[in-house]
A and B are shown apart, each in its own frame.
Chain A
Amino acid sequence: MRAKLTARRWIYGGGLSPEWRAVARLRSAEALSRLSALRAKARGRNGDGAEAIGYLLSKDDPRRERLLVHPAFDYWLWAASGREPERLFDCVQGFAAWLACLRGESLKLGARLDAQARLNLYGGPVFLSFPRRRAGQSLRLSAQDGGLRLSLSGAEVVVAKKLLLRAAGGGAAAVGEARLGRNPELAGGLMVERSSRLVLDLVRQVDPLAGRGLPRFLGPLEEALRDIREIDPPLCEELLDAVRMIVPLRNPDGHDSVSSSFGNLRGAICLSASRDPLLQAETLIHEFCHQKLYRLLAADPVLRPGQGGKVFYSPWRRDPRRLWGALLGAHAFLNVARYLLGLLERDRLRGERREKATGAVALRLFQIEDALRTLQFYGVFTEFGAELLDGMWRELGLLWHAAQWFDPEIVEVQRQRCAEHRAKHALGATGCHGGGGDG
């Protein structure tokens, strides 16, 4: 069943409305369908994996719903359905074990420690680390009454429910010969993941945040989330609902910020550390908006199929980009600009920071306008997609109204900056790239 869609709540934050939840359910339904397809595959090859999948499929409840859309599960589904399914297939036992612990149900499964002698309870923040000599060893795990018992050759580890669910974030507690670790969490339950096998398989430049690295990473992010909550509460609600994991990235070239989202790790934002909460807030909003549009695709394709190949001038890049990229950019920067305007209107930025943010807003508005123009010229949209585009134009208009108090000199500098970029990379006044509009 297609959800009924309201354009404005997909342009800006609309909170956890029935429409938001209906679209979220499309994603969990898709995950369930893929999981069911994998069970048949697993039966032939991986007995314990098939049993774990059977448990995950056995009962529908809110806890399972949350697990199905967890970013780690998203990646696992992608990997397990791919060309080398055996490589990560046994991670599914970790998901099943965590779900059984949350439910307080009984579950017995065979599992295996990974190459780092760890067992991750995927979907949750906890993991068990064993001595290195145990790497790759098989074990029997038994979940009961919210706790866990692990039986390995010559050892047994029992983790009580209380410890499992309340272990200190960022720390580790000894349990027998293992150590129970818990990933640190930001406010709202956002987990910081640096070391699980599934995430490290996909994200190559993960920053382990040794020593003081962790508090330096967490502090500005906490402040950023507080600010987003204050300035744009509905957007913050959506962000904390959809984003479950933050993956810290290295920044070897010393850029201001490095960030990314992956199409097969939905619900995770990867970003580098920064001392500046404002920069972190912009990055969180930007990446979340990309994920939000991808989430929307489950309900409506927005652009009619058949337009994926052609590329156009992008005001944000030197190289040509697809129409979908223009839409992602316009959407994300509308939200970032609105957020910065919210801070400026409330006098939250002073002096040089105020001037810099003013310039950033003006720049974004010119860039958004250029991108919307290209979308309008060349895109063919679904009915909802046309409403979305129309709505984005109107919201841009309102942002220009809000920005009319800006120092005209600052605005003019940014206008010229955009004009120069266009002169360099676009084909005249068209939306085509100067190097050739066809892909």
Chain B
Amino acid sequence: MDSRLLARRLERFNERFGRGRDAALASLLRGLEAAGLGDGWELGVSSFPERSEIAVRYRGAAARPRPWRQALAALFGRTPARACSLSDSPWPRLEIRWDLKAGRWTRGLLYAGAEPSSRRLARFLLAVPGRPAAALLLEPVAWGALDFGDSAARKVLRELAAFAPVRDSVMHWDLAGGQKRPSGCWSLRLQEPLPWPHFLGLDAARAFQERSAGMAAAAGAGTVCELLFEPDRLWAYGAG
């Protein structure tokens, strides 16, 4: 979706789940506008009820370096030391998590180039306020290769895959001192975007159930294209 549509969606989520701290949201929206980036935005929504976090993710066409760095400075308050790759790649270039109630960013991800090839592995810089930047590696794996020890989870995900075919999964690895360690997170990418109202009706969306009316209201007719499983919450990313 384009930045204008994204701004509308953010306003709706803020109305529903923020505390109406419009000044804080306006600050995020100004940052997005300063980035001058066009189409290619996605919105991520967390199932964690307390902090009402949302995420904005940009996977559009490669921007020119100067406005890109200016945008990063506007969003993060500083330009990261390491320049990020501007090559075309299927990975998002930038993700920011924003706490609607607190009115501040909680996490940033910058695409930092790929090794050995951009379609197999993606390297990101992970920035969290108050901590030094860390490296994160994302690795696609075939959907069928995942082993779900918990049978309830396996059943729910199989039913999801039957309803909304899965393209692949992505394993998330922490990189520290050259060592690759599981981060405890993984995501599932759908072949086709699934409308939010349909997603909310599935067992796989149970984590959102507590707020499903509000979610349906805020998400409108938007779509879900990726689910990110973190140890304590589920994120749903999508466009439109």
Q: Does B134 contact A (CB under 8 A)?
A: no
Q: Is A45 an interface residue (CB 8 A)?
A: no
- Asked whether B195 is an interface residue with its Cβ less than 8 Å from the other chain, the reply is yes
Q: Is B19 an interface residue (CB 8 A)?
A: no
A397 and B197 contact, CB distance less than 8 A? yes
Within 8 A of B (CB), among A390-439: 394, 397-399, 401-402, 404-405
Contacting B at CB under 8 A, from A148-190, are: none
Interface size on A, residues (CB 8 A): 12
A405 to B12 CA separation, bound complex (whole angstroms): 9
CB of A345 within 8 Å of the partner chain:
yes
Q: Are B196 and A345 in contact (CB under 8 A)?
A: no
Interface residues of A in 332-380 (CB under 8 A from B): 341, 345-347
Provide the residues of chain B in CB contact with A398, threshold 8 Å. 195, 197, 221
* Distance in Å: Cβ of B103 to nearest Cβ of chain A: 23
Q: Are B197 and A345 in contact, CB atoms less than 8 angstroms apart?
A: no
**Could you say which residues of chain A place their CB within 8 Å of the CB of B2?**
346
Q: Are A347 and B216 in contact (CB under 8 A)?
A: no
Contact with A along B43-71 (1 / 0, CB 8 A): 00000000000000000000000000000
Are A345 and B5 closer than 8 Å at their CB atoms? yes
A401: chain B residues at CB < 8 Å are: 195-197, 216, 219-221
Give min CB distance, B229 to chain A, whole Å.
25
Determine the residue in chain B with the shortest Cβ distance to A346: B4
How far apart sit A402 and B197, CA to CA, in the bound complex (Å)? Answer: 10
CB distance from A15 to the nearest CB of B (A): 14
Which residue on A lies nearest to B200, using beta carbons? A401
Cβ of A345: which chain B residues have Cβ within 8 Å of it? 5, 8
Q: Give every chain B residue within 8 A of A399 (Cβ-Cβ).
A: 221
Q: Is B153's CB within 8 Å of the partner chain A? A: no
Q: Contacts A397-B197, A398-B197 hold; do A404 and B217 have CB atoms under 8 A apart? A: yes
The CA of A348 and the CA of B62, in the complex, are separated in Å by: 26
Q: Are B4 and A402 in contact (CB under 8 A)?
A: no
List the B side residues contacting A404 at CB < 8 Å. Answer: 216-217, 220
**A61 to B: closest C-beta gap in Å:** 35
Q: In the assembly, what is the distance between CA of A404 and CA of B218, in Å?
A: 9
Per-position binary interface string of chain B over residues 149-179, scored 1 when its CB falls under 8 Å from any chain A CB and 0 otherwise: 0000000000000000000000000000000
Residues of A within 8 A of B12 (CB): 405
Q: Please indicate the chain A residues that have their CB under 8 angstroms from the CB of B219 in the complex.
A: 401
Enumerate chain B residues within 8 angstroms of A347, measured Cβ to Cβ. Answer: 4, 8
B197 to A, closest residue via Cβ: A401
- Tell me the nearest residue of chain A to B221, going by C-beta: A402
CA distance A341 to B219 in the complex (A): 14
Complex CA–CA separation, A68 to B125 (angstroms): 57
9 additional contacts (CB under 8 A) given A346-B8, A401-B197: A345-B8, A347-B4, A347-B8, A401-B195, A401-B216, A402-B221, A404-B217, A404-B220, A405-B217
* 27 pairs, CB–CB < 8 Å, chain A vs chain B: A341-B221, A345-B5, A345-B8, A346-B4, A346-B5, A346-B8, A347-B4, A347-B8, A394-B198, A397-B197, A398-B195, A398-B197, A398-B221, A399-B221, A401-B195, A401-B196, A401-B197, A401-B219, A401-B220, A401-B221, A402-B221, A404-B216, A404-B217, A404-B220, A405-B12, A405-B217, A405-B220
The 10 closest A-B pairs by CB, nearest first: A402-B221, A398-B221, A402-B220, A401-B221, A346-B4, A401-B197, A401-B220, A398-B195, A345-B5, A345-B8
